[in-house]
Amino acid sequence: MKDILTLGIETSCDETSVAVVKNGREILANIIDTQIPIHEKYGGVVPEIASRNHIEAISRVTKYAIQKAGITLNDIDVVTPTYGPGLVGALLVGLSYGKALSYAINKPLVAVNHIHGHIAANYITYKELKPPFLCLLISGGNTLIINVKDYVEFEVLGKTRDDAIGEAFDKVARVVGLSYPGGPKVDKLAKEGTANINLPKTFFENSLDFSFSGIKTAVINIEHNNKNIKKEDLCASYEKAVTEVLLQNVKKALKQTGANKLVLAGGVSANLFIREAFLNLQNENLQVYMPDIKLCTDNAAMIASAGYYNFIYGKKNNLDLNAVPNLKINAY
């Protein structure tokens, strides 16, 4: 069987990334041009600035990825850009470039749902991993418990009713005086503290949904009203509380589905405290998977992997495809 090379393009937020992946599992190149230093001074991503920088970087990053993979553009079998969800202007840069490239080299265009990409990061890390499995997807824009029935078949079992967990991490970081991106900095500061502050946790009866607005507001109120509280302790307490919420809902989902494989995905799955807590769930009846740290955050290799499975399952897009900033997980 002929090897299939997918060219992944990821520009949904503030990373311009292009990758070449073989057969959905082997990275030949995964180039990431990050804009974090640009947006750091604004305390978050400025959409217009992100779009402009994607335009400036996309061609250079693509050329470097092709060169690093040791191939030519004509060796590519399928072009797989992200088309949602994300910032619409940023998405349009990668999608437009992918459409133009697909047309120029006369290769199929297969668009990718960014959420599916995060799940597929695990296929690169674990060559043996196959659906079905239960997935906890935790990122800046999403908190989802997903029943992954097949490579292109997903059922949402639980979701956040307000803030995504990564969004809450960033807001907590801002209130304790940490710069963007806040999540990794909260994780680092929490290592120096003690989880000695009782924070409210929200659970819904007969539901696997999440809510993080209450705990985020509690952290803000404590920081504003108690100047003697150590920031390290506040970060440690916040991290412990949100992890307990994640664990309780995932345990309920595992019991409900009878799944014996649990997969973590998304940028927040790089959080070391959360990773350790979920690895501790592993036993003879449950295998736990989580991507390499470098594949947790946005990158084009995960998009190329998801695009490969879309392609072999028969998906193909026309050049009139548009970006969908609020794309749902079931759209593929």
| DSSP assignment string, 253-286 | HHHHH--SEEEEESGGGG-HHHHHHHHTT-BTTB
**Distances from the Cα of 235 to the Cαs of 176, 177, 216, 297, in angstroms?**
8, 11, 11, 21
Q: What is the C-alpha to C-alpha distance for residues 241 and 245, in angstroms, rounded to an integer?
A: 7
- Sequence-ordered alpha helix ranges (H) in the chain: 36-40, 47-69, 88-105, 114-125, 165-175, 182-190, 213-225, 231-257, 272-279, 293-296, 300-312
Q: Do domains 5-118+296-312 and 131-291 have the same CATH topology?
A: yes
DSSP secondary structure letter of residue 179: P
b/e map 81-91, b = 16+ CB within 10 Å:
bbbbbbbbbbb
Task: Please state which of the four CATH numbers 3.30.420.40, 3.20.20.70, 3.30.70.1140, 3.10.50.40 is assigned to the domain occupying 131-291.
Answer: 3.30.420.40
Structural domain boundaries in the chain:
5-118+296-312, 131-291
Tens digit of pLDDT for each residue in 84-117? Answer: 999 999 999 999 999 999 999 999 999 999 999 9
Judge whether 250 and 107 are in contact, CB under 8 Å: no
Fold for 5-118+296-312, please state it.
Nucleotidyltransferase; domain 5 (3.30.420)
Query: One digit per residue, pLDDT tens: the chain, 332 residues?
Result: 789 999 999 999 999 999 999 999 999 999 999 887 778 777 778 888 989 999 999 999 999 999 999 999 999 999 999 999 999 999 999 999 999 999 999 999 999 999 999 999 999 999 999 999 999 999 988 999 999 999 999 999 999 999 899 989 988 898 888 888 888 899 999 999 999 999 989 999 889 999 998 998 999 899 888 778 899 999 999 999 999 999 999 999 999 999 999 999 999 999 999 999 999 999 999 999 999 999 999 999 999 999 999 999 999 999 999 999 999 998 87
DSSP secondary structure letter of residue 297: S
